[in-house]
């Protein structure tokens, strides 16, 4: 009996020790619970380090569009961090159908945002997705590009962006300021670019209001640029070229024809002017790209809704001239014009 009592006491003691052990073990989950705070910090850090995938579709490579793309990327990296944004930058080499293919790829990848550079690229992006935010840049007039009647400055869908539209009446006024004796003026642009047509119509109306005779010529693609330019310079005393991407990619051909004929050209932007023109009312495409990048950062960080963002415009365009061409043509340039730097 005594032995049984001893065994029973030993068993009770063992259970008591076991209970103490359970109590100690119960403290371990509490310690694990405390360890969730660093885990939350890690989760927050991971959220801060999210990598945003941005697809860029550019119609064609030329100075102005390249500058807009670079400004966009630089600003987005500056705001989000180099490690937090990844760009898929693709060029359609002037082919609108290729723009559609590039956009389709971005939609399949489900990128976080698209940048569309030039009107055909914007049209492809707007038609390709209704959910992914799309920003355009180097677009002249969004209402025209997207066939929006009575456009009020905000698209209202998943599309917004920046415009490269300079005051067209001030561009038209350059003919009187630089070549006042020119009474017959030709306008040349690509018929496939809706925004070029818009600019041409506004400038034509403005010039005709000043008593000028205006003739309009269109080329369908790069293959007939030289032929159309040859006709235009033979029938006019000066030319105007809007911010037209096909013309921008063929300034060498245009310059060769116009220079030989001694015909001055006023252009819609500085890149085209540097290739074949005498003057422009210029915007800074790199700065325009930066403005677009700042808009993208707000969208990606959840600080703005793309559908509520109005189109933004470049402020304070500058009158610029090509000194060498003006001198060769004997053109006297007013003091409020700034000499443009020529690329080496």
Q: Model pTM greater than 0.85? A: no
Provide DSSP, 21-54.
Answer: HHHHHHHHHHHHHHTHHHHHHHHHHHHHTPPEEE
pLDDT at residue number 51? 96
Give, as one character, the DSSP assignment of residue 230: H
Read off the pLDDT band of 328 (50, 70, 90): very high
The full set of domains in the chain, from first to last, is 50-164+284-313 (3.40.50.2300), 168-282+318-339 (3.40.50.2300)
Cβ contact 132:169 at 8 Å:
no
Residue 186 has a CB neighbour count (10 Å cut-off) of 24
Give start and end residues of each alpha helix (H) in the chain. 2-34, 36-48, 63-80, 96-109, 119-128, 142-145, 168-178, 194-209, 225-235, 245-248, 251-261, 270-276, 285-300, 323-328
Residue 52 has a CB neighbour count (10 Å cut-off) of 19
On the question of pLDDT at 333 being above 80, the answer is yes
On the question of pLDDT at 222 being above 90, the answer is yes
Mean pLDDT of the 280-291 span: 95
pLDDT at residue number 326? 97
Indicate the pairing of strand 52-58 with strand 265-267. Answer: unpaired
pLDDT at residue number 343? 57
Mean pLDDT of the 19-48 span: 38
């Amino acid at each position: 009996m005594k032995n049984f009592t001893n065994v029973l006491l030993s068993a009770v003691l063992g259970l008591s020790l076991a209970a103490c052990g359970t109590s100690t073990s119960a403290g371990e989950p509490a310690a694990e619970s405390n360890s969730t705070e660093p885990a939350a910090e890690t989760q927050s850090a991971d959220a801060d380090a999210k990598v945003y995938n941005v697809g860029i579709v550019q119609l064609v490579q030329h100075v102005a569009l390249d500058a807009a793309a670079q400004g966009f990327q630089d600003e987005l990296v500056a705001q989000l961090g180099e490690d937090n944004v990844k760009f898929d930058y693709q060029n359609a080499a002037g082919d609108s159908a290729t723009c559609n293919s590039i956009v389709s790829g971005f939609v399949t990848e489900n990128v976080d945002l698209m940048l569309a550079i030039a009107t055909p690229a914007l049209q492809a992006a707007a038609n390709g997705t209704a959910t992914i935010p799309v920003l355009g840049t180097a677009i002249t007039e969004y209402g025209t590009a997207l066939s929006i009647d009575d456009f009020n400055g905000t698209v209202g869908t998943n599309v917004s962006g920046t415009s490269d539209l300079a005051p067209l009446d001030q561009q038209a006024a350059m003919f009187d300021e630089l070549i006042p004796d020119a009474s017959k003026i030709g306008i040349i642009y690509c018929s496939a670019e809706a925004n070029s047509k818009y600019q041409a119509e506004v400038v034509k109306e403005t010039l005709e209001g000043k008593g000028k005779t205006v003739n309009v010529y269109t080329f369908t693609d790069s293959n007939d640029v030289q032929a159309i330019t040859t006709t235009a310079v033979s029938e006019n005393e000066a030319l105007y070229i809007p911010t037209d991407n096909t013309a921008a990619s063929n300034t060498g051909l245009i310059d060769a024809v116009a220079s030989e004929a001694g015909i001055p050209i006023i252009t819609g932007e500085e890149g085209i002017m540097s290739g074949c023109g005498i003057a422009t009312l210029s915007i800074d495409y790199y700065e325009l790209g930066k403005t677009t990048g700042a808009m993208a950062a707000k969208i990606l960080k959840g600080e703005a809704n793309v559908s509520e963002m109005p189109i933004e415009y470049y402020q304070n365009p500058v009158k610029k001239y090509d000194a060498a061409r003006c001198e060769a043509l004997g053109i006297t340039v007013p003091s409020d014009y700034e000499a443009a730097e020529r690329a080496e």
